[in-house]
C-alpha cells in the first residue's frame, strides 16, 4: 500500500498565520486602530492558563492586541455575564474568548450565549451553532473549523464519503459532524452509548476521533485507505487514535502533535480577523 499522506496542520497553521498578519496590517491601515481579542480566564486551571497564554502569543504574532481579563475562581454566572456584556459594548473589542472549562458553579453555556454573535469568534454561542448547522454565515467552533480547513487545504474529498465522528461534545464532535454534513458527507455520530463502535468505524472513509481517551481507536477498526483525523490531545502528546498502528493503513492522517492542535488557535485568529474586517470594510477579505 502507498505511504499515507501526512495532513500537516503545523505547516498549514504557519502559512495561515503569515496571511492573517498581512490582513491585520490592512485593517489597522484602514481604521488606525489595532483589533482586540478579549480573553476571559476564570480561576487558575493550569491547562487553561497555558491555553490563554498561547492565544495571547498568537495575537502578538498576527499583530493584534489581546486583552486579558482574569477573574477569580469564585466568580458567579451573573458576574461573568456582566463582564461579557461590558466587552460586547466595547467598540475596540472584535472578538471574545471565554476559556473552557469554567469552574463548576458557573453556567458555562449561559455565559457563552451572552457573547454577542458578531464577537463570538470561538463559535460557542448556541445561536452561532444553529446558524452554522443551517449553513448560514456564522463563526464556527475553532477545532471543527480547523479540521475542515485541513481537509480542504490538502484536497481530501468529502462529498459522498462516509464520515464517522466519535464524540458529540458541543465544542467538537457535534459541530464537526454538522460541518461534514454540510460538506455532503454521510455522517454517523458515535458516543459512549454507541453499540458496535468498531463495526461502524470500519465503514468510514473519514474517521474523526474526538473522545479524550489515548489511543482509543484501534488499527483493526480502520478500513484500508481511510482518512484519519485525530482531534485528541491527551497527556504526553498522545491522540485518540492508535496512530502508530493505524496510520499505515490509512491514505492520510493528522499526526499528534502537529495535526489538528496547531490549527485551533489559528482558526480563532482567523475568525477574529474576519470580525475586524467586517467592521473595517463591511466584508471578509479572503
Ligand atoms: P468531551 O467533552 O469529554 O467529549 C468526549 C466525547 O467522547 C463524548 O461525546 C463522549 O460520549 C465520547 N466518548 C467517551 N467515551 C466513549 C466511548 N467509550 N465510546 C464512544 N464515545 C465515547 O471531550 P472534547 O472536549 O470533545 O475533547 C475530545 C478530545 O479532543 C480530547 O482529547 C481533547 O483534549 C481534544 N481536544 C483537542 C482540541 C485541539 O485544539 N486539538 C480542542 C478541544 C479538544 P458521551 O457524550 O456519551 O459522554
Q: Which of 46, 148, 142, 147 is closest to 97 using CA atoms? A: 142
Q: What is the side-by-side order of every strand in the sheet holding 252-253? A: 5-6, 252-253, 227-230, 206-209, 162-166, 186-190
Is the overall model pTM greater than 0.85, yes or no? Answer: yes
Residue 122 near residue 84, CB atoms below 8 Å = no
- Ligand 1 geometric centre to CA of 190 (Å): 11
Tell me the pLDDT of the chain (286 aa) as tens digits: 789 999 999 999 999 999 999 999 999 999 999 999 999 999 999 999 999 999 999 999 999 999 999 999 999 999 999 999 999 999 999 999 999 999 999 999 999 999 999 999 999 999 999 999 999 999 999 999 999 999 999 999 999 999 999 999 999 999 999 999 999 999 999 999 999 999 999 999 999 999 999 999 999 999 999 999 999 999 999 999 999 999 999 999 999 999 999 999 999 999 999 999 999 999 999 9
Query: Would you say the CB of residue 115 lies under 6 angstroms from ligand 1?
Result: no
Query: Would you say the CB of residue 143 lies under 6 angstroms from ligand 1?
Result: yes
Which DSSP helix (H) or strand (E) runs through 75?
Answer: none
What is the distance between the terminal CA atoms of the chain, rounded to a whole angstrom? 38
- Ligand 1 geometric centre to CA of 64 (Å): 31
- Ligand 1 geometric centre to CA of 221 (Å): 18
Q: Which of 55, 72, 47 is closest to 265 using CA atoms? A: 55
Which DSSP helix (H) or strand (E) runs through 259?
Answer: none
Query: Would you say the CB of residue 169 lies under 6 angstroms from ligand 1?
Result: yes
Query: Would you say the CB of residue 232 lies under 6 angstroms from ligand 1?
Result: yes
Q: Is 167 one of the annotated binding-site residues?
A: yes
Instruction: Give 3's DSSP letter.
Output: P
Which residues are known catalytic residues? Answer: 55, 99, 122
Amino acid at each position: 500500500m502507498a505511504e499515507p499522506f501526512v495532513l500537516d496542520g503545523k505547516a498549514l497553521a504557519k502559512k495561515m498565520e503569515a496571511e492573517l498578519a498581512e490582513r491585520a496590517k490592512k485593517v489597522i491601515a484602514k481604521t488606525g486602530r489595532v483589533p482586540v481579542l478579549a480573553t476571559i480566564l476564570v480561576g487558575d486551571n493550569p491547562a487553561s492558563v497555558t491555553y490563554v497564554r498561547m492565544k495571547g502569543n498568537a495575537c502578538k504574532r498576527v499583530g493584534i492586541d489581546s486583552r486579558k481579563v482574569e477573574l477569580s475562581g469564585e466568580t458567579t454566572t451573573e458576574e461573568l455575564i456582566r463582564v461579557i456584556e461590558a466587552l460586547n459594548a466595547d467598540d475596540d473589542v472584535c472578538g471574545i474568548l471565554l476559556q473552557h472549562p469554567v469552574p463548576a458553579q458557573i453556567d458555562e453555556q449561559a455565559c457563552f450565549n451572552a457573547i454577542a454573535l458578531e464577537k463570538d469568534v470561538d463559535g460557542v454561542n448556541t445561536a452561532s451553532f444553529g446558524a452554522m448547522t443551517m449553513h448560514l454565515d456564522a463563526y464556527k467552533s475553532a477545532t471543527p473549523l480547523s479540521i475542515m480547513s485541513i481537509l480542504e487545504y490538502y484536497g481530501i474529498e468529502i462529498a459522498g464519503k462516509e464520515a464517522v465522528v466519535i464524540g458529540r461534545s458541543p465544542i467538537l464532535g457535534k459541530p464537526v459532524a454538522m460541518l461534514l454534513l454540510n460538506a455532503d458527507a454521510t455522517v454517523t455520530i458515535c458516543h459512549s452509548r454507541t453499540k458496535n463502535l468498531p463495526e461502524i468505524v470500519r465503514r468510514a472513509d473519514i474517521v474523526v476521533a474526538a473522545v479524550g481517551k489515548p489511543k482509543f481507536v484501534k488499527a483493526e477498526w480502520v478500513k484500508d485507505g481511510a482518512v484519519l483525523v485525530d482531534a485528541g490531545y491527551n497527556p504526553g502528546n498522545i491522540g485518540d487514535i492508535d496512530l502508530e498502528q493505524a496510520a499505515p493503513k490509512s491514505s492520510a492522517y493528522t499526526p499528534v502533535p502537529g495535526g489538528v492542535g496547531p490549527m485551533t488557535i489559528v482558526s480563532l485568529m482567523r475568525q477574529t480577523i474576519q470580525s475586524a474586517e467586517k467592521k473595517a470594510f463591511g466584508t471578509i477579505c479572503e
